[in-house]
Structure 1
Amino acid sequence: MYSVAINAGTSDSGAAYFFVKLNSPDCEFNVMVSELELERLRSVGDARWLARQSVAAGKCLGSSAFWSCQDGRLTVLVGPDDEAWEVCFSAPEALVNELLQEIARARANWPQ
C-alpha cells in the first residue's frame, strides 16, 4: 500500500519547512519542502516529465527533488536536475490525490 503524510517542522537552520513522507510497500521516501515549494506541488498532476514539465520542489539526501506524473505513475527524481538524477521514487498516480489532500490539511494546520 502506498501512502503520503506531511508534517510541519523546522530545518536545521530554524527555517519553517514541511516534511513530505512517501511510503511504498518496500521503502519510505522523505522530502523536505518549503512553504512555497509545497504550494508548487499542487500542480504535480499536470507535470509531464516527457514534456520537461517536472515540478522542482524540495530536497532529499541533500539534492533537489523533481516531481512529475507520466503513464499512470507519480515519480520523484532526486539529483542535480530531472535528467541527471540519482535516486527515484515511483508510485501509482492515484497517490497524487492523497498528496493534494495532505497539502490542504498541512496548510490548514500551519500556524500563521
Structure 2
Amino acid sequence: MDIRHAVLLGEIVSPGNRRKDIIDRPREYAAAVVPFFLRVDLRNRVPAIALYELTEGEYRPVAAAAAGTRFVMREPFEFSIDPADLLGEEAVPDEPGEEG
C-alpha cells in the first residue's frame, strides 16, 4: 500500500531510533499528507500514547494519556485504552472478598 493512502500511521518509539521515531517519521508522514499520526512511547516502562492530526502541514496533538489514565480518540475511528495495558502484564486478581 502506498503511504499516501493511509489515514493513520503509528510509531512505537525505540531507544535506539528516538530521532527517527520522533522527528523524521512524522515529517515523512506529513509530507505524504497522512491525516493522523499515533505515537506510542514506552520509555521508563511508563507507557504513553499521543494522537496527532495534520493541520497546515504539521501534526498537532489531539489526545494523549499515560499509564493509569484512559487514552480516548474519536477520529479517524473510536478507540480507547489505558496505555498500561500495552505492557502485556497480567492484572493481579483481587483478593477474595474485595470488590473490583
Shorter-chain TM-score tier: 0.3 to 0.5
- TM-score when normalising by structure 1: 0.30
Which has the greater radius of gyration?
A: 2
- TM-score when normalising by structure 2: 0.33
User: Which of the two has greater strand per residue?
Assistant: 1
